[in-house]
Amino acid sequence: MVLAQLGGSISRAIQQMSNATIIDEKVLNECLNEITRALLQSDVQFKLVRDMQTNIKKIVNLDDLAAGHNKRKIIQQAIFNELCKMLDPGKPAFTPKKGKTSVVMFVGLQGKLCLHPHVGSGKTTTCTKYAYYHQKKGWKPALVCADTFRAGAFDQLKQNATKAKIPFYGSYMESDPVKIAVEGVERFKKENCDLIIVDTSGRHKQEAALFEEMRQVSEATKPDLVIFVMDSSIGQAAFDQAQAFKQSVAVGAVIVTKMDGHAKGGGALSAVAATKSPVIFIGTGEHMDEFEVFDVKPFVSRLLGMGDWSGFMDKIHEVVPMDQQPELLQKLSEGNFTLRIMYEQFQNILKMGPIGQVFSMLPGFSAELMPKGREKESQAKIKRYMTMMDSMTNEELDSSNPKLMNESRMMRIARGSGRHIREVMEMMEEYKRLAKIWSKMKGLKIPKKGEMSALSRNMNA
Q: Interface with ligand GDP by CB under 6 A: which residues?
A: 108, 119-125, 156, 202, 257-258, 260-261, 283-286
CA atoms within 13 Å, Cβ hemisphere of 86: 28
Q: Which is nearer to ligand GDP, 66 or 119 (CB)?
A: 119
d(CA 369, CA 216): 49
Nearer to ligand GDP, 200 or 348 (CB): 200
Shortest Cβ 426–ligand GDP spacing (Å): 30
Alpha-carbon distances, residue 253 vs 8, 94, 274, 291, 348 (angstroms): 28, 8, 11, 15, 35
Closer of 167 and 285 to ligand GDP (Cβ): 285
How many separate helices (H) and strands (E) can be counted in the chain? 21, 8
Q: Taking the complex as a whole, how short is the minimal distance between the CB of residue 97 and ligand GDP, in angstroms?
A: 26
Name the residue nearer to ligand GDP (CB basis): 200 or 310. 200
Shortest Å, Cβ 139 to ligand GDP? 21
Measured from the Cβ of residue 121, the count of other Cβ atoms closer than 10 Å reads 27
- Comparing CB distances to ligand GDP, the nearer of 361 and 389 is 361
**Residue of minimal Cβ distance to ligand GDP:** 120
Identify the CA nearest to 381 among candidates 333, 340, 346.
Answer: 346
CB of 145 to ligand GDP, least distance (A): 10
User: Among residues 45 and 257, whose Cβ is nearest to ligand GDP?
Assistant: 257
C-alpha distance from residue 454 to each of 95, 128, 327, 458 (Å): 24, 34, 20, 6
Question: Least Å distance between CB 329 and ligand GDP?
Answer: 33
Nearest residue (CB) to ligand GDP, 226 versus 339: 226
Q: Which of 346, 432, 331 is nearest to 389 (CA)?
A: 346
CA-derived radius of gyration, the chain: 25
- Crossing angle for the helix pair 325-333 and 339-351, to the nearest 10 degrees: 140
Q: State the nearest-atom distance from the C-beta of 293 to ligand GDP, in Å.
A: 14
Quote the CA–CA distance of 302 and 308 in Å, as a whole number: 5
Minimum gap (Å) between residue 285 Cβ and ligand GDP: 5
Spatial distance between the Cα atoms of 66 and 326, rounded to a whole number of angstroms: 42
Q: At what angle do helices 375-390 and 339-351 cross, to 10 degrees?
A: 140
